[in-house]
Amino acid sequence: MSKRKRSAQAAAEDSHDPQHNAFLPQKRHYRQRAHANPFSDHALSYPSSPRACNWDALYPAFAGSSKTPEFADVGCGFGGLLIALAPLFPDTLILGLEIRVQVSQYVHDRIAALRATSTPSAATAQASPGPYQNISIVRANSMKFMPNYFRKHSLSALFFLFPDPHFKSRKHKARIISPTLLAEYAYVLRPGGIVYTITDVHDLHEWMKAHLNAFPLFEPISEETLRAEGKGAILDAVYTSTEEGKKVERSQGEKWLACFKRVEIMRE
């Protein structure tokens, strides 16, 4: 696709953004490659441990509350899920992790603009700090530094939405779901917490399901069960909020969802 066509497509996406207004950053000014190699050297700064995370800087409205993120969107892209979940869980801190420089900067600027231009309703003005104060982003390589950000059993939800499929067999080691990485996800996810995965690539869907099914600390949980437990709004956001999900809908493609619950192994 030519630069001119990409710019036109980005402008069209901006105009259809439900949060679009003149004060928000525009995607067309933050474009870069669709994917990044997680094994390449990246100029990243990261905390030495979760204790070193300055959450007050990322969530200033919650400063002094001792709150830490409970939801993590791994490879959050342009932040669609963060924006969708923010008003649904105003007292829950939600963190996006994104490795690409321009994309993570866009999400940072988008959140800052939304915080500055949104005002709380009368009903919520005293109950919560205000719209979009509960979401933030860090530029991070989740495959390498996930335990640097999250304490053991600190998360209740992990999202892997339309991850890079790495189609070639020699690149499957770069897929975000693997036995080694699942050990880290099980470490940071509390028992009862949910891993949400969705993709438009059936092979990747089967790959993620197979690895999660084989891991002893995860068990599949159906969409029907999750909706019965009151997580329907989360699932709706998983299906429809991301840029990738919207592209699949426009092309009338298919999406495959798979969710897993973190279980506790009982020792005899």
The answer as to whether 73 is a domain residue is yes
Helix axes 142-149, 179-188, angle to 10 degrees: 20
**pLDDT digits 0-9 by tens, 30-84:** 666 556 665 565 667 889 999 999 999 999 999 999 999 999 999 999 999 999 9
Measured CA to CA, the distance from residue 52 to residue 109 in angstroms comes to 24
Q: Which residues are annotated as a binding site for S-adenosyl-L-methionine?
A: 75, 98-99, 141-142, 161, 242-244
- Residues 117-153 pLDDT 10s: 887 665 555 567 889 999 999 999 998 899 999 999 9
CA nearest 181: which of 199, 202, 163? 163
Active site (catalytic) residues: 164
Rounded average pLDDT over 165-193: 91
120 against 215, higher pLDDT: 215
**Is residue 5, in this structure, part of any structural domain at all?**
no
134 within domain boundaries: yes
Count of domains observed in the chain: 1
Return all residues near 265 (Cβ < 8 A) that are at least 6 apart: 216, 217
DSSP 121: -
Residue with tokens 């069209």: 12
Contact 153, 189 (CB under 8 A): yes
Query: Which pLDDT value is given to residue 172?
Result: 87
3-class secondary-structure state, position 56: helix
Structural domain of 162: 67-262
**Does residue 15 lie in a domain region?**
no
Share of the chain above pLDDT 70, in %: 81
pLDDT tens-digit series, residues 189-213? 999 999 999 999 999 999 999 999 9
What is the per-residue pLDDT for 233?
A: 97
Q: Is residue 211 part of a domain?
A: yes
C-alpha distances in Å from residue 127, one per residue of 136, 203, 231: 20, 45, 22
**40 within some domain:** no
Q: Is the pLDDT of residue 259 over 70?
A: yes
Distance CA 31, CA 259 (A): 31
In a domain, 246, yes or no: yes
Q: Is residue 19 pLDDT above 70, yes or no?
A: no
The mean predicted confidence, pLDDT, of the chain is 87
112 within domain boundaries: yes
**For position 200, which CATH number holds?**
3.40.50.150
